[in-house]
Amino acid sequence: MNMYVGNLNYRVKEEDLEQAMAAYGVVTSVKVIKDRETGKSKGFAFVEIENDAEAAQAMKELNGSEFMGRQMVIKEAIPRN
């Protein structure tokens, strides 16, 4: 399942997020979205966890929790058409 992770601290790196999510299941990808011109984080990311049940558990437990000083918002990512 692919998840949107928002309201991230701008200093969060992909490795930080992968470590936090790995407690819930096998993380297949982590992508912190960055500004094209500055290369700085935009404060959100996409994380994919292999097993949907594990991803749902991660969303349930981590949504609204504090991570590096900010409350994360986690939702299922809906693909663009």
Query: What pLDDT score was predicted for residue 54?
Result: 96
**Is residue 70 assigned to a domain?**
yes
**Is residue 81 assigned to a domain?**
no
**Is residue 36 assigned to a domain?**
yes
Query: Residue 28 is part of a domain; what is its CATH number?
Result: 3.30.70.330
Give the up-direction half-sphere exposure of residue 52: CA atoms within 13 A in the CB hemisphere. Answer: 2
Kindly tell me if the per-residue pLDDT of 79 is higher than 90.
no
Mind listing the pLDDT tens digit for each residue in 34-69? 999 999 999 999 999 999 999 999 999 999 999 999
Q: How many domains does the chain have?
A: 1
Range(s) of the domain holding residue 47: 2-76
- Residue 77, classed as helix, strand or coil, is coil
DSSP string, 65-76: -EETTEE-EEEE
